[in-house]
A and B are shown apart, each in its own frame.
Chain A
Amino acid sequence: MEFRPDLIIPELYQLLLIGALFIQGIADRPWMPRVGKWLSWCAGVGILISAGSLDLNGLIFVGSYRVDTLSQFFKFAVSFGFAVAVLNATRQPTLEKEKHCEYFMFMALSAWGLMILSSCVELISIYLALELASFSLFPLVPLRSGEKGAAEAAVKYVFFGAAATAIGLFGFSLILASQHTTYLIDFMQKPWAWSEAPMAVAGLTLFLCGMLFKLALFPFHFWAPDVYEGASNETVAYISTMPKLGAVVVLIRLSMLLKPGLEITTILALLAAVSITYGNLAALIQTDVKRLLGYSTIAHAGYVMVGLTAGTTEGVAAAAFYSFIYVIMNFACFWVICRIATDGRNLKLDDLNGLYKRAPGLALVLAVGAMALVGLPPTAGFMGKLFLLTAAWNHSYNWLVVIAAANIAISIYYYLNLVRHAYTKEAPESTPTAVPYPFFSLLWGGLLAALLILFGILPGLVFKALPPSL
Chain B
Amino acid sequence: MEILAKLAFALYALVIITGAIMAVTAKSLVRALVGLIGVMIGVAGMYLLMAAPFVAFMQILIYVGGVSVLIFFAIMLTKASPDGDESSPNSLRSTLNALVAMLAPGIILSVVILRYPPESFPRPTDVGAFDLGEGMLGPYLLPFELISIILFVAMAGAVLVAWRKWGDK
Give B137's nearest chain A residue, CB to CB: A62
Return the contact of A102 from the options B118, B119, B147, B160 (Cβ within 8 A).
B160
Q: What's the least CB distance linking A122 to chain B, in Å? A: 7
Interface stretch (choices A135-143, A425-433, A460-468): A135-143
Which B residues are CB-close (under 8 A) to A183?
139
Complex contacts, A138 vs chain B, CB 8 Å: 157
Q: Is B100 an interface residue (CB 8 A)?
A: no
Which chain A residues (112-145) contact chain B, with CB distance < 8 Å? 116, 120, 122, 124-125, 127-129, 131-132, 135-136, 138-139, 142-143
Residues facing A in B60-116 (CB within 8 A) are 108-109, 112-113, 115-116
Which residues of B are found within 8 Å of A120, using beta-carbon distances?
A: 142
B142 and A64 contact, CB distance less than 8 A? yes
Which residue of chain A is the closest to B151 with respect to CB atoms? A135
Whether B109 and A202, one on each chain, are in contact in the complex, defined by CB atoms closer than 8 angstroms, is yes
Least Cβ–Cβ distance between B143 and chain A, in angstroms: 5
**Which residues of chain A have C-beta atoms less than 8 A from B119's C-beta?**
178, 180
Task: List residues 120-151 of chain B with CB under 8 A from any CB of chain A.
Answer: 120, 138-143, 146-147, 149-150
Contact A199/B142 with A96-B165, A136-B157 known, Cβ cut-off 8 Å: no
Take A98-B166, A202-B108 as given contacts and tell me if A139 and B157 are in contact as well, using a CB distance cutoff of 8 Å: yes
- Return the chain A residue nearest B115 by Cβ: A198
Which residues of B, 146-165, contact A by the 8 Å Cβ criterion?
A: 146-147, 149-150, 153-154, 156-158, 160-161, 163, 165
Q: Shortest beta-carbon distance, B153 to chain A, in Å?
A: 5
Using CB atoms, name the residue of chain A closest to B116: A198
Distance of A106 from chain B, by nearest CB (Å): 7
> Which B residues lie within 8 Å of A105 (CB)?
156
Contact of B161 among A124, A139, A198 (CB under 8 A): A139
| Cα-based distance from A198 to B113 in the complex (angstroms) | 8
Chain B's interface size range is 20 to 34
> Could you tell me if B140 and A98 are in contact, using CB atoms closer than 8 angstroms?
no
Q: A132-B153, A136-B153 are in contact. Are A177 and B118 (CB under 8 A)?
A: yes
Q: Once the chains are docked, how many angstroms separate the CA of A455 from the CA of B142?
A: 36
Q: B116 contacts which chain A residues (CB < 8 A)? A: 197-199
> What's the dominant secondary structure at chain A's contact region?
helix
Min CB distance B19 to A, Å, is 17
Count of chain A residues with Cβ under 8 Å from any Cβ of B? Answer: 38
Residue of B nearest to A139 (CB): B157
Q: Is the CB of B139 within 8 A of A128?
A: no
Instruction: Report A-chain residues with C-beta under 8 Å of the C-beta of B160.
Output: 99, 102, 106, 139, 143
Does A219 lie at the interface of the complex (its beta carbon under 8 Å from any beta carbon of B)? Answer: no
Are A142 and B139 in contact (CB-based, < 8 A)? Answer: no
Cα A247 to Cα B168 with chains together (Å) = 40
> Are the CB atoms of B118 and A124 closer together than 8 Å?
no
A58-96 contacts to B, CB under 8 A, are 61-65, 96
Q: Which residue of A lies closest to B113 (CB)?
A: A199
Q: State whether B139 touches A64 (Cβ < 8 A).
A: yes
- When distances are taken between beta carbons in the complex, the residues of chain A under 8 Å from B115 are 198
**Residues of chain A contacted by B150 (CB below 8 angstroms):** 128, 131-132, 135
The answer to whether A132 and B112 touch across the interface, beta carbons within 8 angstroms, is no
* A178 and B118 contacting across the interface, CB-CB below 8 Å: yes
> Contact flags (1/0) for A173-200 with B, using CB distance below 8 Å?
0100110100100000000000001110
Given contacts A109-B153, A202-B108, contact A62 B139 (CB under 8 A): yes
B166 and A135 within 8 A (CB)? no
Q: Cβ of B154: which chain A residues have Cβ within 8 Å of it?
A: 135
The answer to whether B109 touches A129, judged by C-beta atoms less than 8 angstroms apart, is no
In the complex, are the beta carbons of A65 and B156 less than 8 A apart? Answer: no
Instruction: Report the bound CA distance from A154 to B162 in whole Å.
Output: 13
Give complex CA distance A107, B109 in Å. 38
Closest to A60 in B: B142
**Looking across the interface, which residue of chain B has its beta carbon closest to that of A15?**
B149
A106 to B154 Cα, complex, angstroms: 10
Q: B141 touching A62 by the CB < 8 A rule?
A: yes
Which 10 residue pairs spanning A and B have beta carbons closest together?
A: A139-B157, A128-B146, A178-B118, A61-B142, A124-B143, A125-B142, A125-B143, A198-B116, A198-B112, A135-B153
New A-B pairs, 13, CB < 8 Å, besides A106-B153, A135-B153 = A62-B138, A64-B142, A64-B143, A136-B153, A136-B157, A139-B158, A143-B161, A174-B109, A178-B119, A180-B119, A198-B116, A199-B113, A202-B112
25 CB contacts below 8 A, A to B, read A61-B142, A62-B138, A62-B139, A96-B165, A98-B165, A98-B166, A99-B163, A102-B156, A102-B160, A106-B153, A106-B156, A124-B140, A128-B143, A128-B146, A132-B153, A135-B153, A136-B153, A139-B158, A154-B161, A177-B118, A178-B118, A183-B139, A197-B116, A199-B118, A202-B109
